[in-house]
Amino acid sequence: MCFRVALGKHSSTPPCLSTCQTQSSRPPSIPDVPAGIVYTRRFRVLHCCFQLAIHLGYILEKLKICSMPKFVRFLHDIVPIKKDPHLVVTTLSFGKIPVRLYKPKAPSARPYRGIIFFHGGACIFGSLKLYNNLCCYLARESDSVVLSVGYRMVPDHKYPSAMNDCVTATVHFLRTLDTYGVDPSRLILCGDSAGATSATSICQMLVTQPDLPKIQAQILIYPYVQGFNFQLPSYQQNKNVPFLTSNNLSTYMSLYLDFHPIWKSTIMQNAHVPPEMWKKYGEIISANNIPKRFKERGYQPMSPGPFNEDAYLESKMLLEPKNSPLIADDDIIAQLPQTLLVSCEFDILRDDALLYKKRLEDQGVSVSWHHMEEGFHGVLVSFKQMCFYFPCSLKILNIVISFIKEL
């Protein structure tokens, strides 16, 4: 199905590109299931279920019954929530932004640590309900107050709605910490995937806001941190690995950032980046910063395609620091707090984490990095998901808990 159906304002192909074929109309790539992933059969079944949900969603969208993202979110929220006897869980609204607060029932001798959590899902999937088990575990095991933010998503809300909601909820929480019994000297921003992008972008913003409490640490789980180089080793090696293939990534970007899908292949060839930006940021986003051992699995260095100004004008928001926090100014990076970075071997975004690790360390930021050799993008969502559970999700959460307790 052509993704133009999902992008109402782009109902026709630009005249200058009328002879081109959109990437979404091409035959899908055969999924790659690496042998290094534990429970490969379970992985295949989960992938099939996800693909079935996506395709059913597009059928319903074409029939004008329901959009694909809303249908998938409906499916992943069907499972009922189980109450945690050790926590008080409250659903609130900060203005029009739904949030969920998790607070330990046991009394504390001092104000609690506060963790602001942003869920992943490319601003298309994910929800407060889907991440409820994870947030319960995080609050209970770290003895912290956790605030989970339910930001607006596609299709009803495009860029920058999600980021604006995350910023608004964060600032409101930071200004009302006493209400929730949170210690202003023990604050953490945390997220996975797109949620990790929000976490570090907001962390960068807050270093310029002296009137707000200072963030003690940031926890970034397989983050997306740059929209420049889509030919890094991990982008080549894992381009067909579910649940974030190269085609998935470019599609999700076009849906959220609201640019025409005809530009997807151009962007994935790095032809959307102006020469002057390559000159300015080339060293930061270069594959030369990726350790040699991560280049041994079928990586071929590639030069960017010829610069396409139309693609740049359509997608230039990809290159802004709020969406590419990797390129933030040195003085901003240097002020960032202690950081935990988690990367997964079979993740197209693996090298984003590696680039950000080096960027932080080069500016003197303390970084704790953990690499999941059997991990894949989105594995964290499998936590406590019964037959779709992967042990790697618990490993990541326990790393997060240990990091928090050592602060």
Single-letter residue type at 283: E
pLDDT level of residue 10 (50, 70, 90 thresholds): very low
Task: Indicate if 24 belongs to the active site.
Answer: no
Predicted confidence at residue 93, as pLDDT, reads: 97
In terms of CATH, what superfamily is 87-225+318-405?
A: Alpha/Beta hydrolase fold, catalytic domain (3.40.50.1820)
Taking only the tens place, the pLDDT of each residue in 180-212 is 999 999 999 999 999 999 999 999 999 999 999
Task: Indicate if 193 belongs to the active site.
Answer: yes
311 versus 13: the higher-pLDDT residue is: 311
Please state, in angstroms and rounded to a whole number, the distance separating the CA atoms of residues 150 and 142: 22
Single-letter residue type at 125: F
- Catalytic-role residue among 260, 272, 370, 377: 377
For residues 112-119, give the mean pLDDT: 98
- Catalytic-role residue among 347, 351, 352, 370: 347
At residue 29, what are phi and psi to the nearest 5 degrees? Answer: -70, 150
As a whole number, the mean pLDDT across the chain is 92
Taking only the tens place, the pLDDT of each residue in 134-161 is 999 999 999 999 999 999 999 999 999 9
For residues 342-361, give the mean pLDDT: 98
Please state, in angstroms and rounded to a whole number, the distance separating the CA atoms of residues 291 and 405: 29
Residue 234 in this model has a pLDDT that exceeds 60: yes
Q: What is the helix (H) or strand (E) element at residue 102, kind and residue range?
A: strand 97-104
Please state, in angstroms and rounded to a whole number, the distance separating the CA atoms of residues 134 and 128: 10
Predicted confidence at residue 30, as pLDDT, reads: 67
The alpha carbon dihedral of 54, 60, 62, 66 has a sign of negative
Please state, in angstroms and rounded to a whole number, the distance separating the CA atoms of residues 407 and 189: 13
28 versus 172: the higher-pLDDT residue is: 172
Give the β-pairing of 87-94 and 97-104.
Answer: antiparallel
Task: Indicate if 260 belongs to the active site.
Answer: no
Please state, in angstroms and rounded to a whole number, the distance separating the CA atoms of residues 169 and 54: 30
pLDDT level of residue 244 (50, 70, 90 thresholds): very high
Residue 261 in this model has a pLDDT that exceeds 60: yes
Residue 345 in this model has a pLDDT that exceeds 80: yes
Centre a 10 Å sphere on the Cβ of residue 405 and count the other Cβ atoms it contains: 12
Residues paired with residue 222 on neighbouring β-strands, in sequence order: none
- Catalytic-role residue among 144, 193, 234, 343: 193
Q: Which DSSP letter does residue 111 get?
A: P
> Is 119 exposed, middle or buried (CB count within 10 Å of its CB: 0-12, 13-18, 19+)?
buried
375: Cβ contacts below 8 Å, ≥ 6 apart: 222, 343, 344, 345, 346, 347, 392, 396
Per DSSP, the three-state class of 34 is coil
79: Cβ contacts below 8 Å, ≥ 6 apart: none
Dihedral, CA atoms, 328, 304, 288, 121, nearest 10 degrees?
A: 60
Residue 24 in this model has a pLDDT that exceeds 90: no
